[in-house]
A and B are shown apart, each in its own frame.
Chain A
């Protein structure tokens, strides 16, 4: 496989994992703009746990099979603890609270000597593309399963109308905390895999722009079904590349300009999608239509 394409697919895998971690709370009506915080936690925890004690800045020297799950648990634990104050906030205040959390994490990590402070630190063991792909598929399958359970039904009910959900016996608070915590664990997993794939972690790379993009993938992909984050992440991972490719293909002055202004084009596409598909690209109604069409088409084709 070409290095360029593999590089892009690696980004797609990571973006997909991050997106599912932000999707779970979003599906229950909570906007988490703190992805970068959980990525940082996962990446640094995995790197530190994995690094041999003899090298600089030093760590515990655990193998990857332990460092990654431990990093996931760590992110989950932090997610659980902060979900208590954060879930008291609503709407844009929750967006700001989660954003502030990520800033706190980043601010702390940059000043902690034992994880390399501002210089960052290496994550020694390597996860190759195949490993990353397999884990991504597992994450997607897990989230798909989770959304199909009664817990998933409770999450979606809380998203739609929490007071009615309560009246039918849903524990709204527990549902929210669980969704947020599992989401934090998944984002942390993405961070750990990032570290072990690129073999270096640096807090500056996990900034608010990343959090914004991840939330965008989720919202524009659609929070109503478990397909939304996959479509959103794929769409936004490939669009900048597609514009670049298009520019090269068109060629000439216009092609060059297209490449130069691709961020503008990207922005315009985002705004257009928000206008055209305010509930996200993939909605329940859309899936229902597609499946009914297929069911109707099948007997017709058989005749």
Chain B
């Protein structure tokens, strides 16, 4: 494998005695599009929460582009180079679409002068223009000034991705970005993610839709009950007996049918 942008080593986390992440180790190759899949409750979102510092980890190490980020404060991790979207939409409901995207730029706008720059007064400033351009690239340019709480689910879901994207991270963590999107929106999302990846951003994507995973990702990591049970290519994944067992054990569907059913 080529060099890794993210290295996760023996990650452990338990919640009230329940071991939710159990000795998980994997690498995410620089510039790759990697999927993190697994049945419901496998611990995928928890991995993202541990990486981004939402919870402290019990044990293990995470190294981002050569920098140990295991114990740095959550607010500094986006500066270190990772940003994320959320499975349940976590946009700022009272901010407009453009303002939500400009929040994504926050880590890049350091220093007092940047903090006191009147983003909202000068319509033509580089931050706002960049945010609008990013929205346009995602096919969302019709709603810049609207308060996001008033927008439909599918739109909000994609604004999440744009907000995380404009942080210009080394690795973009996307938690079920295609969930709840119709097929046309999914297509657009797939295109956007490829464009982001073409600019050199590594993608780590949690997704239930196996068709989406197979067409987008080159590498797949499978979790089950907090343990890594598989790491390989999308073609290998549905032939793997342990993976089959994991999905059969829960809802008796192989991962690809599980995706189609969702």
Contacts and interface: CB of A to CB of B under 8 A. Distances in A.
Chains A and B belong together in one complex: yes
A285 B54 contact: no
Nearest to A164: B90
A172 to B, nearest CB: 8
Q: Please classify the interface of chain A as helix (H, G, I), strand (E, B), loop, or mixed, using the class held by over half of its residues.
A: helix
B96 interface: yes
Nearest to B93: A160
Interface in B105-155: 106-107, 109, 114-121, 127, 145-147, 149-150
B94 A168 contact: no
A148 B128 CA distance: 12
A82 interface: no
A167 B75 contact: yes
Contacts of B76: 169
Given A284-B96, A285-B147, A171 B117 contact: no
Contacts of A167: 52-54, 74-75, 77-78, 83-84
A168 B117 contact: no
A166 B104 CA distance: 11
Interface string A264-290: 000000000000000000011100100
B92 A161 contact: yes
Nearest to A291: B145
Interface string A208-227: 00000000000000001000
A165 B83 CA distance: 12
Contacts of A288: 96, 145-147
Contacts of B64: none
Contact of A151 (B79, B94, B116): B116
Nearest to A158: B92
30 contacts: A149-B117, A149-B120, A150-B106, A150-B114, A151-B115, A152-B120, A153-B103, A153-B120, A154-B106, A157-B92, A157-B95, A157-B103, A160-B94, A161-B90, A166-B75, A167-B52, A167-B74, A167-B84, A168-B103, A168-B106, A168-B163, A170-B75, A170-B106, A171-B75, A284-B96, A284-B147, A285-B147, A285-B150, A288-B145, A291-B145
Interface of B: 52-54, 74-79, 83-84, 86, 90, 92-96, 99, 102-104, 106-107, 109, 114-121, 127, 145-147, 149-150, 163, 167
Kindly list the 10 A-B residue pairs having the minimum CB-CB distance in the complex, ordered from nearest: A148-B120, A169-B107, A160-B92, A151-B115, A284-B147, A169-B78, A148-B121, A148-B118, A169-B106, A164-B90
